Amino acid sequence: MTKGVKSILIATLFFSAMNVLVKMLSHIPAVELALFRSVFTLITSYFIIKKLRLSVFGNKNPILYLRGLLGTFSLIFFFKSLHYLPLATATLVHYLTPFFTTFFGYLFLKEKFYKIQWFFLFICFAGILITQHDKGIFNTFNIHNSGLLFGMGASVAAAGAYNCIRKISAAYNPNIIMIYFPIMAIPICSIVLLINGGFIIPSFNDWFLILIMAVLTQAAQYYLTIAYQNEKVGNIAVYTNLGIVYAVANGIIFFNEIPTFNSWIGIIIVVLGIILNLFSDRIFIFFKSFKNEFVK
């Protein structure tokens, strides 16, 4: 097992635990949670960087700022989707990220992307819509529609951030890359809170959960960064699928979110689309070989 694979497995476990805590804190605005998490990341990364005697800002590569910006929007949108959607559904939507990651890798990093992957993405979309069929999303605009849109936005932004990490590769220590997230997130979240208001003072229990959430997220981001530094963006997705299993189990255990029949069908379809995407290269080769034999 490679270093990148080990890192993504650890990151997936930590992220699943973080998602549970974020949903438990749904009474606190998503932007506020993102701000708290960013402050913790800034402090932690700063002290680690100083201990390692590294330059805090590296050489101020514009890609580092872009990674921080995209990561900020991805986090806020994902937290919003967790507030509006069942845990399993929010996680399923976020697991569209590998499709966009691979596509952006094709556009900007010249990595392979097969046209058939668009069909697999369509399968995933269909599955997600089926999970929400009984929520009235086809009849009116409601919180479930909003949750789906926020989830999609989070996936696209995350895909962009992951490709930024891949672009700069091993040129930077993971903590240097991570500190650019709060550098962008703190001012953005602060401005949004000042404009919109709605700041809620957390209770003692809230602060405890927020601290654990921040620690888990910091650890997850660290291992995620290592994973994308050491493995191609398209090769890691297979190992992140455990997060779907965690999400379904955690939704049932912590929030009594027992999937309906439609939800189970949708989940199965989404997982099928994800699996097909993971083997898209082999499927492409198979059909190409079949076509060549047929022509003969």
- Segment-wise mean pLDDT, segments of 10 residues, the chain, 296 residues: 84 92 94 94 89 77 91 94 90 85 83 81 86 60 75 93 81 82 94 88 95 90 80 68 85 91 88 81 72 60
Residue (of 58, 4, 51, 54) closest to 180 by Cα position: 58
Report residue 283 as tokens: 């499927």
Cα distances from 222 to residues 31, 162, 290, in angstroms, run: 21, 13, 43
Contact yes or no for 217/11 (Cβ under 8 A): no
Q: State the SS3 of 6-35.
A: HHHHHHHHHHHHHHHHHHHCCCCCHHHHHH
State residue 14's pLDDT score. 94
pLDDT, position 293: 62
**With contact defined as beta carbons under 8 Å apart, do 232 and 5 qualify?**
no
From CA 75, how far away is CA 112, in angstroms rounded?
Answer: 27
Residue 143 is predicted with a pLDDT of 60
Q: How many CB atoms lie within 10 A of CB 283?
A: 17
Q: Residue 133 and residue 136: Cα distance in Å, rounded?
A: 6
Q: What are phi and psi of 232, to 5 degrees?
A: -65, 145
In angstroms, rounded to a whole number, what is the distance separating the alpha carbons of residues 257 and 195? Answer: 34
With CA atoms as reference, report the closest residue to 10 among 268, 277, 218.
218
CA distances from 268 to 46, 145, 217, 261, 277 (A): 42, 21, 28, 11, 14
Looking at residue 209, its pLDDT comes to 96
Contact 273, 120 (CB under 8 A): yes
Calpha distance 105→74 (Å, rounded):
18
